[in-house]
Homo-oligomer: A and B are copies of this chain.
Amino acid sequence: MERLSEVARQEQFLSVLSREEAAARFRAAVPHATLPAETVLLAEALGRVLAEDIASPIDVPPFDRSLVDGFAVRAADTESAREGSPVRLGLNAEILACGTAPNLAVAPGTATPIATGGVIPRGADAVVMVEATEFLGDAAGPAIEVARASNPGQFVGYTGADMALGETVLRRGVRFTAREIGMLAACGLDRVPVVRRPRVAVLSTGDELMAPGALLRPGAIYDSNGAIVAASVAENGGVALPGGIVADDEASLETAIRESLETADLVVLSGGTSKGAGDVSHRILSRLGEPGILVHGVALKPGKPLCLAAVGTKAIVVLPGFPTSAMFTFHEFVVPLVRALAGLPPREEASVEARVPQRVPSELGRMEFVMASLSRTGDGLVALPLPKGSGSVTAFSQADGFFPVPANRAGLEAGEAVTVSRLGAGVKPPDLTIVGSHCLGLDRVVGLLADRGYRARTIWVGSAGGLAALKRGECDLTAMHLLDPESGRYNAPFLAPEMRLAPGWRRMQGVVFRAGDPRFAGRRAAEAVAALAGDAETVMVNRNTGSGTRLLIDGLLEGGRPAGYWNQPRSHNAVAAAVAQGRADWGVAIEGVARAYGLGFLPLTEEHYDLAYRAERANEPGLAVFLALLAEPETRVALRELGFATGAGD
């Protein structure tokens, strides 16, 4: 009878709180923060959460490579080729299979056989597909005939086009799916830092409970909460430490809870909160240590008699004994904590509806899958087709998913609705989409933005491509460094009336060369270029049309087109790699990249790297936070540490 007469007393501590009030007290006492990192093998990282930002230790691909089976040529040699009047190119005595480095340069009038994935040799700037050639094995030696002109860069995959050395390729907080594992494998990592999984002790209490598999005695039931809680912990990124069934007496329960607190990050006990039994766990939790019981009773149905407690910053949650009550309270209070400790975001769906913002061309007669990134607009989700080709690993990473263009359609029209299948789980649309030119400084700013809880998607297509995307409304921000030769000013002259410029930082550009090369060492940049522009043995590497650097190079060459002019990769990294690997002798790149490749550097001029946006979007949350962040002293300090110039009077 004593037990029953205690009910009145127990009622007094069961003071029911609202769900919000209970959650607030719980969060105030127990940090819902990500646990520290541990290192695991990449092959075991599936489902784990990345603990640190990962910068690629190499360029991917690590060299300029052929995208087809064919012949490496100089595009200029094929300029006059026509059907009926082909150009003859003598074959060099080397076959560039996959995995072998070239030994011979492609001299004017020659070609070198190359396999898909083979390294583009020095001198070559394009590849002709084998199907577009005729083999000639005559007295003059092996040769091919080419009946069509090639553009420079044709069938060439440039160094770093997929991932550039030093580029942040994955950000902390990402949950590993197959595609993240593939990306890190592609850049050569076999170990990764992941968030340690929260260890959750799972105890069941009640004298009526028996473990599954045992023979049930009269009046007893099988413990199901223990199994459900353990499995739910695993489903939410934790590791369950199954503690089994604890007898419903004070001594056993206290021992079990104390032992669990030693090894676990969180203790979940089910049973023992009903009015007839709650006093036992209540008494124990009251004396384990500060702050003790935080909440006992929540306005939830089912689940009212939930008890939340903490010792230090470790939580102890006592779930109601009935399974449905236990699971709802578990999902309301324990799942958010486990996911927060595990570094996991809330869930999202597996497919979403979106519109395509532009016409998507496709070949009639075959189904085409288009990789797309998702972007929120005032008018719902937009699926942006991604520019990367099928050789790309990151296409999978930048993509939120893909949509099909049916075989019986020659493409989709702008504004048409598509169903985007998400790739992997746990992916959600970013708060901010940045399209344009890559910079390590921007990687750093995006990292600071992530610290403030905003996730940015970055797509590197160059300054001009970024500006076009901004014009079409496909991104929030364009990262650019375009020089207007007439005014000598960067960026501002290129903006449309609806665009605004946020000042970024400045990067020193210069001529890069292999350290110690006597043709360059000790000279001034303009002087060296002027002296070597006419030398057939000195091969340059150019940049793509539309890039700010290309304008700088064209200014430097004053109309000259030295050997290598038609080799026009799209990034500072590809330029530096071409020089470092001997495919070229000089090019123009920024100082930080020259340093990363161990190259010599002759300074030219400071390039302005700024951020453009559309005026009407300035108050959207992600963009507003980014713009404010850009002006903060902390950001300027971080940029200067990376070697960039910031501040007024630029």
Contacts and interface: CB of A to CB of B under 8 A. Distances in A.
Given A185-B227, A188-B222, A407-B299, A208 B117 contact: yes
Nearest to A206: B98
Contacts of A371: 324
Interface string A1-20: 10111010000000000110
Contacts of A348: 350
Nearest to A227: B185
A166 interface: no
Given A19-B407, A135-B5, A117 B321 contact: yes
Nearest to A247: B99
Nearest to A19: B367
Given A117-B221, A396-B327, A366 B299 contact: yes
A218 to B, nearest CB: 4
Nearest to A369: B328
A228 B58 contact: no
A284 B276 CA distance: 73
A274 B69 contact: yes
**What is the count of identical protomers in the complex?**
2
Contacts of A390: 302-303, 320, 322-325
A46 B227 CA distance: 10
A179 interface: yes
A101 B224 contact: no
Interface in A205-241: 206-209, 211-214, 216-232, 234-235
A413 interface: no
Contact of A190 (B115, B206, B213): B213
Interface of A: 1, 3-5, 7, 18-19, 42-43, 46, 58, 60-63, 69, 95, 97-102, 113, 115-119, 130-131, 135, 137, 142, 176-179, 181-191, 206-209, 211-214, 216-232, 234-235, 242, 248, 274-277, 299-303, 320-325, 327-328, 347-351, 362-363, 365-369, 371, 388-393, 395-396, 402, 407, 424, 581
8 contacts: A69-B274, A101-B218, A178-B229, A179-B228, A185-B212, A299-B366, A300-B369, A301-B368
